[in-house]
Structure 1
Amino acid sequence: MAATQPEKKISLPSKIFDEMAKKYENGLGGAQNDIVRALLSHSKENHPIDSNSVIHDNACGPAVATSEILNQSIAPPPKIFATDYAQGMIDITNSYKERRGWDTVTVQQMDGQALSFEDAKFTHSISSLGVFMFPDEKKGLSEMYRTLKPGGWIGVTSWKDVRWPTAAIAAYEKLFPAAEEPLILPILKNWMDPESCERNLRQAGFHDVKAEVVPCVNRQLSKEIGASAFVEFLRHVSPTITSWDESTQERFLAYYSNLVEDMFSPAINGNGVELTLYAIVASGRK
């Protein structure tokens, strides 16, 4: 059986992210916060954020980048425009805006491949775990370039090793050894190593580009809770799995869940469990 899939990018409709929105942040167990903090360290070194900054949090998801920027306690806080094409993510971000008093944050539903912002609006443009999922990531980067001021800073992140695909393929090979078709998973074509991420930014017109692999930790109360988030994600994003009947899905996902649970280890601080993932943070200037 072929364990790898064809070079084909899956375009995930917004309704999938709407369904996953409430579980997305908890599912990563703080890992994306680690990633964003590493990315913002690039900005601090090359183009620091201050009160005069105008920032785009592109494909904002549950507003992790926005939260981390505001947690820096810059006074007065910078203006941030948080956008996402999934209404579920926008609803979460709006709830944070209201509860946390984010007066300088504007939240809008918007397609990152066709931004409605004017040219040269932002001093900083960020897309954490976002632009690589666009159906046309080149168009997404082009829009980030267009809406960034000359000399402005771009920061994007991707996955080097998110761990769960290894377990999914292992489960598929075990349960369906005679399968003629591979297990189809979302792939990060041209985004899974620092060199490719740097090349993507340079080809979009950015300079002073750099990228690095950073560890991030998924922290959960138990192995079962940690695995359940991966199960729900895989259930929604694999066309192979969504094509199966419910009984086959549950059989596969139960086996897959056990493999994922085995990946978690007791947390160093003794509180729950954790799983180290590896991300790529990349940045540059216009």
Structure 2
Amino acid sequence: MAESSATSNKLNIPSHVFDEIAKKYASGLGGANSDIVRELLSRCQEEYPISEESVIHDNACGPAIVTSSILDSNTGSVPRIFATDYAQGMIDVANTYKERKGWDSVTVQFMDGQALEFEDEKFTHSISSLGVFLFPDDKKGLSEMYRTLKPGGWIGVTSWKDVRWPAAAKIAYDRLFPDAQEPMQLPNVKNWEDPTSCRSNLLDAGFKDVKSEVIPCINRQPSTEAGIEVLTGFLRSLSPTAKAWEDGTWGEYCKHFGDAIKDAFVPSLDGNGVECTLYAIVTSGFK
């Protein structure tokens, strides 16, 4: 997420917060997360193609976008996939997809990515899209990915460079509370917001041949008003400051936030709704 004058310490986001946003996660990002996974799996296809012999870990799987994308693109050679998350809400969504789509090769498990229950060297591919960078102990998360990956196996992770709304959130806060003594608390993900830092994180964890680059992705919404609504929903879930406000204060804040973020949405090129360009980082390497 974009740097702001938010709290300097990394927020430990409890699992129940992700339970709250699980069902609106995909729609809230408006397909941007699918754009990111598409780029990540394209990188995988170039560097270490998935086959029916592959054993894949979808770590911090969320609503199973990685798993779904792999199975949709590998219908002729179905790999084994283990999808895990520490938020029960995300696990519930992933299990719904598993049952609905008949994913017989997929195992969905509730599991902390900082203390994986898998044996050493289990996976050919270890993937965490918009996951490990949010772990309270991201170094431990990477260490666990390294431990459970086979020698020569492939790792792919993604993180945010700029999701646009944190900067607008600060602007709105400063407008509503010009004399505030404390900054607004926002998720502050250090050392994952530029390719150089992302590459160093994987190298420090023991991975090699690491590549990292910024990619654009698009949050598509039916209207600017709808886009603002989903972003305010994320904001109140993820900011302890906003969550503590009474409804009246929150309502006033939302007016300022809407004014600050509305210009980020522009008409879609296909004329269907609006879109907001976000920026993610795709990083990959080998054990």
User: What's the TM-score bracket when you normalise by the shorter of the two chains?
Assistant: over 0.9
Cα separation, 2, equivalents of 1:52 and 1:261: 47
Equivalent residues of 1:207, 1:284 under 8 A apart:
yes
Distance 1:173 1:118 in 2: 49
Matched, 1:82 2:83: yes
Is the contact made by 1:50 and 1:74 (CA closer than 8 Å) also made in structure 2?
A: no
Correspondence 1:101 to 2:124: no
Q: In the alignment, what sits opposite 1:155? A: 156
Please name the residue that 1:185 is paired with: 186
Normalized against structure 1, the TM-score is what?
A: 0.97
What are the Cα deviations for residues 58-95 of structure 1, in whole angstroms up to 9, with x where unaligned?
00001111111111134231001000000110011001
When normalised by structure 2's length, the TM-score is 0.97
Which whole-Å deviations, capped at 9, do the CAs of 1:197-234 have from their partners, x for residues lacking one? 00000000000000000000011111111111110111
> Which position in structure 2 is the counterpart of 1:91?
92
> CA–CA distance in 2 between the matches of 1:146 and 1:227?
41
Amino acid at match of 1:92: V
Deviation at 1:261, TM superposition (A): 2.7
Q: 1:5 offset after TM fit, Å?
A: 2.7
Distance 1:16 1:182 in 2: 21
On the 8 A contact 2:7/2:188 being kept in 1, the answer is no
Moved more, 125-134 or 68-77: 68-77
Taking the aligned partners of 1:250 and 1:117, their CA distance within structure 2 comes to 46
Tell me by how many angstroms 1:120 deviates.
Answer: 0.4
In 2: Cα distance, 1:31 partner to 1:241 partner:
24
Cα deviation for residue 9 of structure 1 reads 0.6
Distance 2:7 2:219 in 1: 29
RMSD: 1.0
Deviations 1:108-140 (A, max 9, x none): 000000000000000000000000110000000
Deviation of 1:257 after TM superposition, in Å, equals 2.6
Deviations 1:35-54 (A, max 9, x none): 01111122111111111100
| Structure 2 equivalent of residue 13 of structure 1 | 14
**Which whole-Å CA distance do the structure 2 matches of 1:73 and 1:46 have between them?**
16
Structure 1 residues 161-197: Cα deviation after superposition (integer angstroms, max 9, x where no partner) = 1100111011111111111111110011000000000
Identity of aligned residues (%): 63
Q: Is the 8 A contact 2:175 2:256 kept in 1?
A: no
Q: Which residue of 2 aligns with 1:194?
A: 195
Corresponding residue for 1:237? 238
Distance in 2 (CA, whole Å) between partners of 1:189 and 1:229 is 24
* Structure 2 unmatched ranges of 5 or more: none
Q: Which segments of structure 1 move beyond 4 Å, counting only runs of 4 or more?
A: none
3-state DSSP of counterpart to 2:73: coil
Number of the residue aligned with 1:23:
24
| C-alpha distance in structure 1 between counterparts of 2:81 and 2:256, whole Å | 43
Verify the 8 A CA contact 2:7 2:186 in the aligned structure 1.
no
- Gaps of at least 5 residues in structure 1 are none
1:218-272, CA deviations, whole angstroms, 9 ceiling, x for partnerless residues? 1111111111111011101112112222211221123213332331111000111
CA distance in 2, matches of 1:213, 1:38: 11
2:124 counterpart SS class: strand
Instruction: Give the letter aligned to residue 255 of structure 1.
Output: H
Residue 270 (structure 1) aligned with residue 253 (structure 2) = no
* Aligned 8 A contact 1:51 1:74 in 2: no
| Equivalent residue, structure 1, for 2:42 | 41
Question: 2:213 aligns to what?
Answer: 212
CA distance in 2 between partners of 1:120 and 1:134 (Å): 22
Q: 1:252 — aligned with what?
A: 253
Q: Does 1:137 align with 2:138?
A: yes
Q: Deviations over 1:143-172 (max 9, x none)?
A: 000000000000000011110011101111
Task: Specify the SS of the correspondent of 1:71.
Answer: helix
